[in-house]
Amino acid sequence: MSRESFRPKGMATAIGSMPHVDPEEACKIVLKYLPEIPAWPQLPRRSFRENMYAQFSEGFPGLILERDRLWVDREADLSTDLERLYDDYLTYRLEPYGLSPDYAAGLHAFLNSQLESPLAVKGQVTGPISFGLAIGDRDRRPILYDDDLAEAVARHLKLKASWQEKTLSKLFPKTIIFLDEPYLGSLGSPFTVVPSQRAEELINKVLGGINGLKGIHCCGNGDWPFFLRLPIDILSLDAYNFGESLALRPAEVKAFLERGGVLAWGIVPNDEESVAKETTASLISRLKHLLFLLSNKGVDYDILVMQSLVTPSCGLAYLPPELAERVLQLTAEVSRELRRGI
């Protein structure tokens, strides 16, 4: 599917994580509310292996998984494992980079689901910046600051993303793969000491492994010009908390839309207090306010809606299960209301 042909018209999807421990139950709920673009559920409460960093770490050179800690033993001789990774990268050998059931029970349950004529199916992989900053060595120094390991991270995640896309395409041919990059919300700050150019190089390397639709999700107040110039089809943001900051960049948004880009508006909050006070009416009002902010600055309103998705603001793993289901219900209802005017 090309950018030019992807006009989701306000359809709904999810970011990924759910609070359930039963993968079949989680898939059932996702398919109930998001039948048009279902996303396989990550289940970090089921196991630490399904934490967004551990989940994609399987097979990484020198990796040590100790209970609830993940780290790379940089004191070990990693040359053989790094050489294997580079050979696999050059020959595009995907089989060793599959997500096993112990690390992604939600994905394997999803692959056995019965779909009802979706537009696409969505998957996700942790992006290289967040992966490389969240995982450290024995002394907790992030591996992203080691040039060799940073390159290994990008190659490893590219192969993980490629395997996932190939696997999902067997369930349904049209796929969307997001890179989840929470750390990019602090790019340029003292908390993320990574030059923008270097971050862009690593991200582009991973994106290069995705042939179908590709997106980035960031749940912080991002450097929107940085995101909008990346070779992505979809920018996913926490619009509930940070949508107005995106509206300050109408020129960049307009250029992104003109080349076929889609904005995934994370307008449904994922914290208990906010979910309790919001309704479908209040959230559609909030979303339309953001759309009008951009349209009043020269971004065509109809194009905005045609090239929009509706999502939760971020993952739902740390909500009670019944509240997570409420978030997906609100997401579906906001999507339906937005599309009513098309």
Residue 131 carries which DSSP code?
Answer: H
Range of the domain at 218: 3-340
pLDDT band at 3 (very low <50, low <70, confident <90, very high): very low
pTM value? 0.96
Q: Residue type at 219?
A: C
Cβ-count burial 248-259 (b if 16+ within 10 Å, e if not): ebbebbbebbee
Q: Are 218 and 184 in contact (CB under 8 A)?
A: yes
What integer is the mean pLDDT of 264-281?
A: 97
What do you get for the CA distance between the two ends of the chain, in Å? 22
Q: What is the mean pLDDT of the chain?
A: 95
Measure the CA angle with vertex 8, ends 183 and 173; round to 5°.
85
Predicted confidence at residue 7, as pLDDT, reads 93
- Sign of the dihedral through C-alpha 111, 113, 114, 115: negative
CA distance 165 to 119: 15
Contact 7, 36 (CB under 8 A): no
The pLDDT tens digits of the residues spanning 97-117 come to: 999 999 999 999 999 999 988
Checking if the pLDDT of 4 tops 70, the result is no
81-114: burial string, b at 16+ Cβ within 10 Å, e else = bbeebeebbeeeebeebbbeeebbbbbbbbeebe
Q: Per-residue pLDDT tens for 200-247?
A: 999 999 999 999 999 999 998 989 999 999 999 999 999 999 999 999
The strand order across the sheet containing 234-237 reads 11-12, 308-312, 262-268, 234-237, 213-218, 175-180, 121-126
Cβ neighbours of residue 337 closer than 8 Å, sequence gap 6 or more? 280, 284
Q: Give the model confidence (pLDDT) of 39-84 as tens digits.
A: 999 999 999 999 999 999 999 999 999 888 999 999 999 999 999 9
Residue 259 C-alpha from the chain's centroid: 21
pLDDT score recorded for residue 2: 43
233 Cβ contact partners less than 8 Å away, ≥ 6 residues apart: 3, 6, 176, 213, 214, 215, 260, 261, 262
Distance of CA 179 to the CA centre of its chain: 4
Q: Encode pLDDT of 124-149 as tens digits.
A: 999 999 999 999 999 999 999 999 99
| Position 193 pLDDT exceeds 80 | no
3-state secondary structure of 64: strand
What pLDDT is recorded for position 130?
A: 96
The CATH number that applies at residue 14 is: 3.20.20.210
User: Given this model, what pLDDT does residue 1 score?
Assistant: 38
pLDDT at 300 over 80: yes
For residues 301-305, average pLDDT: 96
> What's the structural domain count of the chain?
1
- What 3-state DSSP class applies to 39? strand
Note the pLDDT of residue 191: 67
The full DSSP string for 239-275 is HHHHHHHHTT-HHHHHHHHHTT-EEEEEEE--SHHHH
Residue 186, pLDDT score = 77
